[in-house]
Structure 1
Amino acid sequence: MRKIILKAVRIIDANSKHHQSVRDILIENETIIKIDHSIEDPEAQLIAIEDLHLSPSWFDPSVSFGEPGFEDRETLVNGIKTAGLSGFAQIGLNPNTSPVTDTQTGIRFAQQYNSSQAVEVFPLGALTKEAKGKDLAELFEMQQAGAIAFTDYKQPIENPNILKIALQYAQGFGGLVQSYPLEKQIAREAQVHESLNSLQLGLKGIPAFAEEIQIKRDLAILAYTGGKLHIPFVSTKNALQLIQEAKADGLQVTCGVAIHQLFYNDAVLHEFDTAKKVMPPLRDEEDRLALVAGVESGIIDCVTCDHLPRKPEEKHVEFEHALPGSVGLESAFGALNRLFGLEKTISLLTQSRKVFQLQEFSIQEGQKASLSLFLPNEDYTFSEQDVISSNNNSIFYGEKLKGKAIGIIHNNQLLLKQL
């Protein structure tokens, strides 16, 4: 990437002395060379966009594409492009492919474009072989190849001894184990949150305690083994309380939440819109408000768009037969910015790196240029025109969002939407 000057950009970085300042920024050879009121360089590419803001680049810890095996859902190339144009310079890529990412070879396949694209992929390896929950996968070997955590994506660890052994083994190399919070024997084949609403809809419900029982079990195992445990996709008030108590007791436990869980409750299901079928299911308003409060207080360590493309034939069917999931990269910034405001949103989009022990970035002279570019003040209604993914199964259609990402500077490359 040749020299770039970003003209009159507002810097959002609470760790920088330039926070909330409007400055010119000169970037050369992946490094921020100069930050000043006015910078001129005839050899530099000029980027001047009205109301352009930037921050340290964003990271999402739970993104799904499809390749290998499900390229008709999403390819690596288009998925990476979608992430970058949505403001994400780094993503944690889930292992829910075919074959499942449970070997060094699978990890390296997921990283194959890291040297040539603006977006950096950090694979998550499967915790068990083929994500079947029976035998541990090659955890150490996958970490050596670049895996940042281990998860059988949205498959609960039914055998408690598997979790025990995984936590004990992973301590030897600082590995992070994830456990999806669901007691499968209680949930069975249910579709939505169990409540008066599910009765009215005539759909089988998953009670909140199916999540909480699993978390109680997992935390008891963690207390015995030690190690590091991450609980993704928390969705209930009582689950958060359990995690808060475990943290207070000194356990190394972190948790995450999907952005749509912060935005919606199960009342939106009355039209049987399969775009709003997700797992864990949308819960009631009390749970939603508890999740928002958990984000505000810091009990929740990560937010994720939980990007999960589905083909039309997997969504355009009766509600009971539709597969759960929504694309989310394109709507993540606008949804969070509407809920929490700009500074908190940027904090949420960058803080997950701490959980996964990734390098953090700051906007300072001499630092690596890893930046997300965005227009935070644009109010709009999210529509299919905003979707870059190969499939357009978004939960946010028709929703009023605030702010749009327009690109990134990372890996010595610029990726920018055409405005």
Structure 2
Amino acid sequence: MNILLKSAKIVCPENKELHLKTRDILIKKGIIEKIGAKIESPANTKLLDLENLHVSLGWFDSGVSFGEPGFEERETIANGLYVAGKSGFTDIVLNPNTQPVPDTSSNVVFLKERGLGKPTNIHPLGTLTKNAEGVDLAELFDMKNAGAVAYYDFKRQISNANLLKIALLYAQNFGGLVYSFPQDGSIKGHGVAHEGEVSTILGLKGIPALAEELQIARDLFILEYTGGKLHIPTISTAGSVKLIANAKKKGLDVSCSVAIHNLFFTDETLKGFDTHFKVSPPLRTKSDTKALIKGLKDGSIDFVTTDHIPMDVEHKRVEFDNAKNGSLGLESAFGSLNTLFELDETISFLTQGRARFGVACPKLEEGAEANLTLFNPEGTYTFEDKDILSTSKNSMYLGAELKGKVYGIINNDQIVL
């Protein structure tokens, strides 16, 4: 496929010569052939002349859930990857939030094969333990050879400290990245919302910041003892930011992410008992949100994630205590980040993270494979049902004012618009 992007403003801080320059970009058979001030459209070329067109390197998300296999009614891999592409993402790390969970190489191969030939690349996570039960390590080395980029018992704490120690020691033999979800279940108990003024007023059982910070402190002590590579997904408290920043100053190989909704919303939104806002970790306070934003800007937090979790209506249209955790996040990711940050920052946050997972980093230059996201950063709109492309409709962003729209992606010699 041949494509000519007309008058595209390039947002690529890594390329000083092209950053914020308006250029035509000619793509032939998936390769960027020419970048110039004015390029005439060759024959048999698809011309894209979109309003206020901006282009960046393709976006990356380190934490997306679909449903297949086991929960196809929530989302299939095929439609999920289409949603990711329409939302601007050319690469996604797939959470092991399925049934059965991917705890063997054959499970990982199945997921990789389901993503073949799609515009958005899929990078599966395997579980850390068999059946994600936290008892015995899964086939970590075999899964790495099959294409798993890291190991995660999705949203489940590693309660056995010795198991995490052994996992970190063993995974060093092949450079494996080990996840540890930041939540101590014994302190969380039956909590469903951040422990604070709002949960007290609403009569909801609270999850204290201590539940997250105690788990992180333990994990960092273990990492200091063992060495290895540790990733802590979706931190949510100011104390967590400090703990990880201090660990990095010590030279520990630790990374972390923050869910975009924990930057955009606080626990104040729970006052309507809307189960779309029930997530794990929970929405926290304004002071936590400020600390997370600061940590993202200064590098204490390594990257953002949509923490996209489709959930069928039967598990959301119930009492708050009984509802399952999770919200959609792909469709609203750019609009929410672009509301909170300057455009340069937003694009940097959306493009970083690949190296941590051993995923090849694209380049925006002549001769490189076209791995691009197309968008218009201007204009505000109210996020509505029509903006949801996922099979499930459980988005906490419904009614939110967002800024900017995504046109789509160009990747793998394919285009999604």
Q: CA deviation at 1:356?
A: 1.4
Task: Measure the CA separation in 2 of the matches of 1:195 and 1:4.
Answer: 53
In the alignment, the residues of structure 1 paired with residue 254 and residue 76 of structure 2 have an alpha-carbon distance, to the nearest angstrom, of: 33
Q: Output the amino acid matched with 2:11.
A: I
Name the structure 2 match of 1:107.
108
Give the aligned partner of residue 349 of structure 1: 350
- Mapped contact 2:78–2:115 kept (Cα < 8 A): no
Q: Which residue of 1 aligns with 2:18?
A: 18
Aligned to 1:7: 6
User: Structure 1 residue 354: deviation in Å?
Assistant: 2.4
SS state at 1:78 partner: helix
Aligned partner letter, 1:201: L
TM superposition shift of 1:352: 1.1
Cα distance in 1, alignment partners of residues 5 and 387 from structure 2: 25
Is 1:392 aligned to residue 393 of structure 2?
Answer: yes
Match of 1:408 in 2: 409
Equivalent-residue separation in structure 2 for 1:248 and 1:19 (angstroms): 31
Aligned residues of 2:126 and 2:148 also touching (Cα < 8 A):
yes
Alpha-carbon shift at residue 106 of structure 1 (Å): 1.1
Contact 1:13 1:362 in 2 (8 A): no
- Equivalent residue of 1:210, what SS? helix
Contact 2:108 2:146 in 1 (8 A): yes
In 2, Cα distance between the equivalents of 1:397 and 1:193? Answer: 21
Letter aligned with residue 34 of structure 1: K
Cα distance in 1 for partners of 2:396, 2:116 equals 33
Residue 29 of structure 1 corresponds to 29
Letter in 1 for 2:32: I
In 2, Cα distance between equivalents of 1:372 and 1:346: 10
In 2, are the aligned partners of 1:24 and 1:37 still within 8 Å (CA)? yes
Q: Which amino acid aligns with 2:264?
A: F
Provide the C-alpha distance between the structure 2 equivalents of 1:184 and 1:114, rounded to a whole number of angstroms.
34
Q: Is the partner of 1:95 in helix, strand or coil?
A: coil
Match of 1:321 in 2: 322
Aligned pairs (5 A) from 1:74-223: 74-223=75-224
Deviation at 1:388, TM superposition (A): 0.3
SS in 2 for 1:110: helix
AA at the equivalent of 2:27 = I
Q: For the residues of structure 2 that align with 1:62 and 1:227, how far apart are their CA atoms?
A: 21
CA contact (8 A) 1:56 1:370 kept: yes
- TM-score (norm: length of structure 1): 0.98
Distance 2:55 2:105 in 1: 35
Which 4+ stretches in 1 moved above 4 angstroms?
none
* Cα shift readout 1:189-223 (whole Å, capped 9, x = no counterpart): 11000112111110100110111110111001000
- C-alpha contact (below 8 Å) 1:373/1:407 kept by paired residues: yes
Equivalent position amino acid for 2:182 in 1: P
Give the whole-Å Cα distance in 2 for the aligned partners of 1:336 and 1:311: 26
Give a deviation string over 1:347-389, Cα, whole Å, max 9, x none. 0011111221221122111111100111110210011110000
SS in 2 for 1:80: helix
SS in 1 for 2:332: helix
Partner secondary structure for residue 375 of structure 1? strand
The one-letter code sitting in structure 2 at the alignment partner of 1:27 is I
Secondary structure at 1:111's aligned position in 2?
helix
| Distance in 1 of aligned mates of 2:109 and 2:406 | 29
Provide the identity percentage. Answer: 52
Please state whether the residue corresponding to 2:391 is helix, strand or coil: coil
Deviation of 1:405 (Å): 1.1
Residues 1:242 and 2:265 aligned together: no
Pair 1:45 & 2:49 matched: no
Match of 1:315, as an amino acid?
K
**Superposition deviation, residue 50 in structure 1:** 1.3
* 1-structure distance, mates of 2:44, 2:21: 25
Following the alignment from structure 2 to structure 1, what is the Cα–Cα distance between the partners of residues 292 and 3? 40
Q: Does the Cα contact within 8 Å between 1:82 and 1:329 map onto a contact in 2? A: yes
3-state SS of paired residue (1:346): helix
> Residues 59-101 of structure 1, C-alpha deviation per residue, up to 9 Å, x if partnerless?
1010000000000110011101000000001100011100001
CA contact (8 A) 1:177 1:228 kept: yes
Could you tell me how far apart the structure 2 residues matched to 1:342 and 1:147 are?
A: 32
RMSD over aligned Cα atoms: 0.8
Structure 1: where are the runs of 5+ without partners? none
In 1, distance between residues paired with 2:355 and 2:343?
20
- The letter for the 1-side match of 2:190 is E
Amino acid at match of 1:28: K
| Aligned partner of residue 330 in structure 1, secondary structure | coil
Match of 2:231 in 1: 230
Partner amino acid, structure 2, of 1:7: K
Counterpart position of 1:339: 340
What's the TM-score once normalised by structure 2's chain length?
A: 0.98
Does the 8 Å CA contact 2:77/2:115 hold for their aligned counterparts?
Answer: no
Q: Is the 8 A contact 2:212 2:240 kept in 1?
A: yes
Matches of 2:211 and 2:347 in 1, distance apart?
32
> Aligned equivalents of 1:350 and 1:82: distance in 2?
18
Count, aligned residues:
415
Contact 1:301 1:355 (C-alpha < 8 Å) held by counterparts = no
CA distance in 2, matches of 1:153, 1:110: 16
